[in-house]
Amino acid sequence: MDKYAYICDIRTLARTHTLEGHRAAVTCTRWANDGPYLLATGGADGKILLWDVRKARSCLGHLDSGNNASMAHNVGVVNTAHERSVISLEFAEDAHHLVSFGADHRIRLWSTVSHKNTMVDYGRVAFEFRDMTRHLQMSMSSQTQPSLIYIPSGDKILVYEMMTGVKIATLTAHFGHVLACAYHPSLQYLFSGATDRNILLWAPADEFKDFEEEMEEGRRKQLERSAKRIANGAVQMYSSSCKWTRGVTMKTDDSFSLIVTLPR
């Protein structure tokens, strides 16, 4: 892995920027959702650097967990955001905050306005991979109150309130290490992928009820259509209990539900 971060033109794949500042391999990058020129990079050196790619001196500085020199422009200083490799970064919807997750088992919340550690305590988070440079993709909710953070942790997904650090749920359904979470802002669904080769869809509890009602309504209409065809002598009646196999729902938590889509 390279200790430089490169920005490329997606049409030509030509490099437009080479970002220098990390002392070890760059392990993760993240663009700000509400700031197309703001970029964060994390490295195996435990450092997080902020960049404004519009500027000639594009590095805004580094983040320091002790807030001793949060915006020092000398990117070679040894103050770090994490004691070990940075394995995931995620900006809040308004780009005013950045969340980082490190191989030191810590989640940190940073202000991108003051560039300081907010000192929110999320507790210790399990990280079971021996490869300290492995990238895990966490995710964050949008258009919700409060804002939630979804953190892969072993075969589980931990859900925290962003501003308080309170853990509100533990989502369990995977049979392998969870590698990535992706939140859909319009549908308010969470997708997760793991080493068990499954991609799961998670929905809020009220969506779970709507999904059950939709399935029941579909089954009722299917029975009505079958009954009409039988009345017309067109088909022979079969049990419909095994016909409705488009989806299976399992309630896993008071706040979240799992929807597994199956083939017909």
pLDDT in tens, 185-212: 888 899 999 999 999 999 877 665 565 6
Question: For position 240, what pLDDT does the model report?
Answer: 35
CB atoms within 10 A of CB 198: 13
The C-alpha atoms of residue 141 and residue 186 are separated, in whole angstroms, by: 10
Q: Which of 5, 90, 12 is nearest to 53 (CA)?
A: 5
The C-alpha atoms of residue 71 and residue 67 are separated, in whole angstroms, by: 9
CB contact set of 9 (below 8 Å; sequence gap of 6+): 16
Residue 168 pLDDT level (bands cut at 50, 70, 90): very high
- DSSP, collapsed to helix, strand or coil, labels residue 214 as helix
Percent of the chain whose predicted confidence (pLDDT) is above 70: 77
153 forms beta bridges with 156
Report the range of poorest mean pLDDT among 26-30, 121-125, 229-233, 236-240: 236-240
- DSSP, collapsed to helix, strand or coil, labels residue 16 as strand
Question: For position 262, what pLDDT does the model report?
Answer: 37
Give me the mean pLDDT over the 127-144 stretch.
78
**Which has more pLDDT, 238 or 244?**
238
pLDDT at residue 124 above 50?
yes
Q: Which of 143, 188, 182, 152 is nearest to 170 (CA)?
A: 152
**Which has more pLDDT, 86 or 1?**
86
Give me the mean pLDDT over the 82-111 stretch.
93
CB 28 within 8 A of CB 47: no
Question: For position 256, what pLDDT does the model report?
Answer: 58
Name the range with the highest mean pLDDT among 77-86, 95-104, 242-251: 95-104
pLDDT in tens, 146-161: 899 999 999 999 999 9
Q: What is the chain's length?
A: 264
**In the numeric block, which tokens belong to residue 54?**
């519009």
Question: For position 261, what pLDDT does the model report?
Answer: 43
Average pLDDT over the chain, rounded to an integer:
80
Residue 180 pLDDT level (bands cut at 50, 70, 90): very high
**In the numeric block, which tokens belong to residue 185?**
């802002």
The C-alpha atoms of residue 105 and residue 153 are separated, in whole angstroms, by: 10
Percent of the chain whose predicted confidence (pLDDT) is above 90: 42
pLDDT at residue 86 above 50?
yes
Report the range of poorest mean pLDDT among 71-75, 234-238, 250-254: 234-238
pLDDT at residue 131 above 80?
no
